[in-house]
Amino acid sequence: MPPTPEAAIAVDDLVVDRGGQPVLKSVSTRIAAGSVTGLLGPSGSGKTTFIRAVVGTQKVKSGTVEVLGRPAGTKPLRSRVAYVTQDASIYPDLSVKANVAYFAALYGRSRSEAMGAIERVGMGDHAHKLAANLSGGQKTRTSLACALVIEPEVLVLDEPTVGLDPVIREELWDQFRGLAEQGATLLVSSHVMDEADRCDRLLLLREGRFIADDTPADLRASTGTANLEAAFLHLIRELEKAN
Amino acid sequence: MSLRITFITAGRILRQLLNDRRTVVLILAVPSLMIALISAIMDAAPDVFDSVGLILLAFFPFMMMFMITSITLLRERTGGTLERLMTTPTGKLDLVGGYAIAFGVAAASQTVIAASVAYLFLGLETAGPAWAVFLIAVVSSLFGMALGLFVSAFATTEFQAIQFMPVFVVPQLLLCGLIWPRDQMAGWLQGVSDALPITYAVKALTEVQTNPEITAAMWRDLSIVAAAALVATVLGAATLRRRTN
A229: confidence class by pLDDT, cuts 50, 70, 90: confident
Residue B168 lies in a domain: yes
A172: confidence class by pLDDT, cuts 50, 70, 90: confident
pLDDT of residue A2 exceeding 70, the answer is: no
Q: What is the pLDDT of residue A191?
A: 78
- pLDDT tens digits, B56-112: 999 989 998 899 999 999 999 998 999 999 999 999 999 999 999 999 999 999 999
**Using an 8 Å Cβ cutoff, are A194 and A121 in contact?**
no
Q: Determine phi and psi for B190, rounding to 5 degrees.
A: -65, -35
A157-170: average pLDDT: 85
Q: Does A18 touch chain B (CB under 8 A)?
A: yes
**C-alpha distances in angstroms, A109 versus A113, A163, B23?**
6, 29, 31
Under an 8 A CB cutoff, do A57 and B87 touch?
yes
B5-11: average pLDDT: 97
Q: Domain total for chain B?
A: 1
Under an 8 A CB cutoff, do A91 and B12 touch?
yes
**Using an 8 Å Cβ cutoff, are B93 and B123 in contact?**
no
pLDDT of residue A5 exceeding 80, the answer is: no
pLDDT of residue A6 exceeding 80, the answer is: no
Q: What is the pLDDT of residue A236?
A: 86
Classified as helix, coil or strand, B245 is coil
Q: What is the pLDDT of residue A225?
A: 86
Under an 8 A CB cutoff, do A73 and B15 touch?
no
CA quadruple A191, A196, A199, A200: dihedral positive or negative?
positive
Q: What is the pLDDT of residue A12?
A: 95
**Using an 8 Å Cβ cutoff, are A3 and A144 in contact?**
no
The parent domain of residue B43 ranges over 3-238
Enter the ipTM: 0.88
Measure the CA–CA gap between B100 and B104, rounded to whole angstroms. 5
Got the DSSP string for chain A? -PPPTTEEEEEEEEEEEETTEEEEEEEEEEEETT-EEEEE--TTSSHHHHHHHHHT-B--SEEEEEETTEETT-GGGGGTEEEE-SS--S-TTSBHHHHHHHHHHHTT--HHHHHHHHHHTT-GGGTTSBGGGS-HHHHHHHHHHHHHTT--SEEEEESTTTT--HHHHHHHHHHHHHHHHTT-EEEEEES-GGGGGGSSEEEEEETTEEEEEE-HHHHHHHHT-SSHHHHHHHHHHHHHHH-
**C-alpha distances in angstroms, B38 versus B48, B49, B50, B65?**
10, 7, 11, 21
Residue B101 lies in a domain: yes
**Using an 8 Å Cβ cutoff, are B36 and B105 in contact?**
no
Under an 8 A CB cutoff, do A59 and B245 touch?
yes
Residue B114 lies in a domain: yes
- pLDDT tens digits, A41-55: 888 889 999 999 999
Q: Does B15 touch chain A (CB under 8 A)?
A: yes
B114-132: average pLDDT: 93
Under an 8 A CB cutoff, do A58 and B245 touch?
yes
- pLDDT tens digits, A24-33: 999 999 999 9
How distant is the Cα of B10 from the closest Cα of chain A, in angstroms? 11
Residue B245 lies in a domain: no
How distant is the Cα of A79 from the closest Cα of chain B, in angstroms? 6
Testing the interface with A: which of B2, B3, B72, B88 to mutate, by most A Cβ within 10 A? B88
Residue B32 lies in a domain: yes
Measure the CA–CA gap between B37 and B41, rounded to whole angstroms. 6
List beta partners, residue A38.
A188, A202
Testing the interface with A: which of B8, B17, B18, B81 to mutate, by most A Cβ within 10 A? B81
In chain A, residues with a C-beta closer than 8 Å to the C-beta of B16 are 91, 93-94
**CATH no. for A1-80+184-243:** 3.40.50.300
Domain locations along chain A: 1-80+184-243
Residue B179 lies in a domain: yes
